Amino acid sequence: MEKIIDEKKQGNSLVLEPKAKNTRKLFIESYGCAMNFSDSEIVASILSKEGFNTTQNLEEADLVLVNTCSIREKAEQTVRKRLEKYNAVKRINPGMKVGVLGCMAERLKDKFLEEEKIVDLVVGPDAYKDLPNLINEVEEGRDAINVILSKEETYGDISPVRLQSNGVSAFVSITRGCDNMCTFCVVPFTRGRERSRDPQSIVEEVNDLAAKGYKEITLLGQNVDSYLWYGGGLKKDFKNATEIQKATATNFAALLKLVAEAQPKMRIRFSTSNPQDMTLDVIEAMAAYRNICNYIHLPVQSGSDRILKKMNRLHTREEYFTLIDNIKKMIPNCGISHDLITGFPTETEEDHQDTLSLMEYVKYDFGYMFTYSERPGTTAERKLEDDIPEETKKRRLQEIVDLQQKHSKQNTNSVIGTTVEVLIEKESKKSNKHWSGRNERNTVTVFSKENYQIGDFVKVKIHDCTSATLIGEPIGLSDNN
């Protein structure tokens, strides 16, 4: 998973509708990528059946869990500070148990349990069904750990609870793990090999969400485009599948069609894509179905072929341009966003200029931009010296951010005078007289409330903008309601 939840949105404590018979309290926080937030919904569902209701009050919790991210150093530092806070509360409430879930759990299991003794249980991303047993171990006075990575687990049989949901948008996980082995990334080591979920269970979950009034879903995976179901098993083993399995396999384009046809009035999004895995049939499916949003998050990481090779990104600059050209040709109004890392080992000024020129070619709607931080256990950490000075990294990042803001403002300016369809998600942060939602290109749009409600699809005439937000006036409900 390359796309990271905005830092300002990190650390949400999550709450679901309480069950009257449940007597214990669970406080759960999530950091990092959307997959972690989705996983927390699975954990809450599992523990709901074990007598736990969720709470937003840390002090009253019987069990505190933090779902962690290892993709950047800053995320790990944030989680460590939260663990300090949990343990301060634990000194007042000795009966409270603290656990770490997810990617940091797998990577730092020994430190957390044995060396630093700051948690009671450590649970990797494929071991959430073992939580009831692990909690029993802790309650009997023993430390508990399960970070075994699975070749089969997809949690397709778990109905996630929707934590702190707006009742409008939901994540639907379709793959787990990653096979790509980018040299900067810890995900293959913390989440294991790539496997896909049964398409029927995905369609059933989408249908259930529609029945509950949800209007938009995001199909989620480390690399959604590489989704491949052939009856179960790892993607890497597909070459050994039977002829019947190969003939009846479901790829991502076929899954998109299944979901779009199952719920024609539900907006479909997906994240995250990898350039090497996105095929023309995916773009064709997007173009063919109105309810598949014209928006693609397409991480490039660098504009330099030399750096892409060192990153083990299995696409070149020219192949990326060809993909962008095909997207813009087949879906002229498609929004495109990116992930970029600057300051990767050995990056020169020429490499940096290649990244800026790639951005000029694509003119992304928005992006997630970071300086390189060395992650323990990755190939880059083992084989490449982190040799770019921090001052240089920061300067290059600022140039990337400045250029992205310029392109973002150009893109939002181009919408002024047009009418867009917006799904109302919440009240605007800046005004209780305005709604906030997104158009199909994933651009935040605000407009006056009038008589509209959360969950309505509204036609909005755009009259102003910032680099990140469209501002307009509603002119009526769309025919998608």
Enumerate the known binding-site residues.
33, 69, 103, 178, 182, 185
Q: What angle do CA 412, 463, 465 make, to 5 degrees?
A: 35
Grouping H, G, I as helix, E, B as strand and the rest as coil, residue 188 is helix
CA 211 – CA 205 distance, rounded (Å): 10
Q: What angle do CA 10, 16, 22 make, to 5 degrees?
A: 130
Nearest in space to 174 (alpha carbons), one of 274, 35, 40, 275 = 35
CA 400 – CA 137 distance, rounded (Å): 49
170-208 CB burial, b ≥16 within 10 A, e <16: bbbbbbbbbbbebbbbbbbbbbbbbbbbbbebbbebbee
DSSP H helices, 192-304, are 199-211, 243-247, 252-262, 280-288
326-360 CB burial, b ≥16 within 10 A, e <16: ebeeebeebbbbbbbbbbbbebeeebbebbeebbe
Residue type for position 397: L
DSSP string, 97-153: EEEEEEHHHHHSHHIIIIIS---SEEE-TT-GGGHHHHHHHHHTT--EEE----SS-
Q: Which residues are annotated as a binding site for [4Fe-4S] cluster?
A: 33, 69, 103, 178, 182, 185
Helices 390-413/349-362 angle, 10° precision: 10
Residues 6+ apart with CB under 8 A from 158: 42, 45, 46, 129
First-to-last alpha carbon distance for the chain, in angstroms, is 32
Nearest in space to 403 (alpha carbons), one of 447, 440, 357 = 357
